[in-house]
Chain A
Amino acid sequence: MNLFDVLSHQYMQYALIGALITGLIAPSLGIYLVQRKMSLIGDGIGHIALTGVGVGLLTGASPVLTAIIVSALGAVAVELIRERGRTSGDMALAILFYGGISGGVFLVQLAPGKSNANLTAYLFGSPLTLNPTDLVVMGVLGACVLAVTLGLRPWLFAICQDEEYAKVSGLPVRLLNLLLAVMTAVTVTVAMRSVGLLLISALMVVPVAAAQLVSRGFRGTMALSILGGLVAAGAGTTISAGFNTATGATIVLTAIALFVGVAAVTAVLRRLRRPAPAPVSAEPPECALDC
């Protein structure tokens, strides 16, 4: 079966679209989390979202809706803990995250027609079961995330780069922080069906890590990381179809391969450039006044 045969199936096309939406939005949000040294927060929010999924399956409500509500509440709690800046905040986060994933597993088992397959679908994604309605929901939510991450870039950059300075600038720092937290929850929920709650954090972080190896500014890093996210999602989905492997995991491995590839190429280029004379600083040595 060649590539075109695989992609001619409608469910594969749906899976590809779902993955591309995730690959597009996850790095655009993740760059802010990385900038503020909270790379792993997406993973924690994913844990909390599982409780939302459990609530949905148990009550018969839409798991996406309940996951958004519960994970947004969790993300706001995380933000409030971060804002306090207490050393005990670390512990509070651990309790919140593991409470979230345990609560999810607990509730899913209580739900009618309980099955571990159900749980696995949310934890690791099940893009092959996406239908057009799912894609519309993902598309609308993804558009909301993009509107914030791209439209508010100067302000979100300012609060993530130097929060105290942003406060003295009179920016609505708290509002922006909470907005970022809620958008993290929405991104996690959008990605839950394509790459899964346990793997989404990778798509928020790894493309950014790859991009910042070669970029010079924030804007460039953002553009490159989105490109990397799209490439990893597209290539990963296609590879998973060819090898009949789990889509979410293949996408993440593709992203990591991309990172390793970029790191290797930049390392080689740096070594090749080394013989060139280093630019001499036009500024006098620091001790000029003292000595």
Chain B
Amino acid sequence: MNSLPVLTVEHGAVAYDDRPVLRDVNLSVGAGEVVAILGANGSGKSTLVRAALGLVPLASGEVTLFGVPRRRFRQWHRIGYVPQRLGAGGGVPATVGEVVASGRLAARGFLRPRRSGDTRAVTDALTAVGLVDRVHDPVASLSGGQQQRTLIARALAGQPDLLVLDEPTAGVDAASQEAFARALRDFVTGGGTVLLVAHELGPLQPVISRAVVVHDGVIAHDGAVPHPTGHHADPHHDHVHPHGPQDPPSIWGSR
């Protein structure tokens, strides 16, 4: 594995309608790392990964993917993206297999026919998240957690080098969280790099190698996974979403 960082953001800034969301963010993710981006709701943690992938325009700064400036980056099959949730769509049914197969398109190439390797990759991805028996079921018939696993399988089907996950475990049932943590461990064992946005880590905690805390549009912490303080340390703590201003900014340590 080379020492080139898989993903870097340099002096990244993002603004929605002149309202700054991220200010001068620097982030570097090395090969084989499992980096968690933490922060309260509205801190800009999701915006950070969306900007890194080009889904949100950068007001200023530079993003590189696998050592290539994002504008010139073409090897999108090396990245597996898992959004927060499955889009509702217009009500046209789609099977789990169809959704996961769409994750294979980047690796398959535009206008290329499907090969046996493509079919196998889809089956392997479904096996990794424990949904192989649901391949012909409509995704709308699955639970929220199972839908989230479908999205992870879709990303895995492309056999990426980097997985980018946006709050993959938000509102996901325990069985799905376990299945997800297992799939992630297997992916990392296979040499993969992970960048994930999370509100809380839960069963993912042991997998994480580094934590980056975004607070108020800047990176407030970059290093070991911070220990939850205050009411977050209580395993029975009550989570209220979204976090209002009454939440002290010191939860993840201050900057």
Partners in one complex: yes
Q: How far is the CA of A275 from the CA of B99 in the complex (A)?
A: 32
Chain A, interface size category, equals: 35 or more
A135 at the interface (CB under 8 A from B): no
Q: Which residues of A contact B103 (CB under 8 A)?
A: 165, 169
Given A165-B154, A168-B81, A169-B105: A283 touches B93 (CB 8 Å cut-off): no
B253 at the interface (CB under 8 A from A): no
Q: Which residues of B contact A215 (CB under 8 A)?
A: 93
Q: Which residues of B contact A289 (CB under 8 A)?
A: 174, 177, 202-203
B233 at the interface (CB under 8 A from A): no
Cβ contact within 8 Å between A216 and B86: no
B245 at the interface (CB under 8 A from A): no
Cβ contact within 8 Å between B94 and A168: no
B212 at the interface (CB under 8 A from A): no
A277 at the interface (CB under 8 A from B): no
| Stretch in B18-26, B32-40, B136-144, B189-197 with 4+ CB within 8 Å of A | B136-144
How many A-B residue pairs have C-beta atoms within 8 angstroms? Tell me: 120
Which residue of chain A is the closest to B80 with respect to CB atoms?
A168
From the candidates A34, A170, A221, name the one contacting B74 in the complex (CB within 8 A): A170
Cβ contact within 8 Å between A158 and B105: yes
How many residues on B have C-beta within 8 angstroms of the other chain's C-beta atoms?
A: 46
Query: Chain B 100-139 against A: per-residue CB contact (8 Å), 1 yes, 0 no?
Result: 0111011000110010000000000000000000001110
From the candidates B75, B92, B154, name the one contacting A221 in the complex (CB within 8 A): B92
From the candidates B54, B95, B158, B175, name the one contacting A217 in the complex (CB within 8 A): B95
From the candidates A157, A171, A284, name the one contacting B174 in the complex (CB within 8 A): A284
From the candidates B53, B76, B92, B102, name the one contacting A208 in the complex (CB within 8 A): B92
Cβ contact within 8 Å between B92 and A34: yes
Interface hub of A36, A160, A169, A171 (most chain B Cβ within 10 A): A169
Cβ contact within 8 Å between A168 and B177: no
Given A34-B92, A215-B93, A221-B93: A161 touches B87 (CB 8 Å cut-off): yes
Cβ contact within 8 Å between A35 and B83: no
Cβ contact within 8 Å between A165 and B102: yes
From the candidates B55, B99, B175, name the one contacting A284 in the complex (CB within 8 A): B175
Q: How far is the CA of A165 from the CA of B151 in the complex (A)?
A: 10
Cβ contact within 8 Å between A161 and B173: no
Interchain residue pairs with CB less than 8 A apart (10): A165-B81, A169-B76, A171-B106, A217-B95, A217-B97, A283-B176, A284-B174, A284-B175, A288-B175, A289-B202
What 6 pairs across the A-B complex have the smallest Cβ distances?
A170-B76, A217-B95, A169-B106, A286-B173, A168-B81, A158-B102
Residues of A within 8 A of B (CB): 31, 34-39, 152, 154-155, 157-158, 160-162, 164-172, 208, 212, 215-221, 281, 283-290
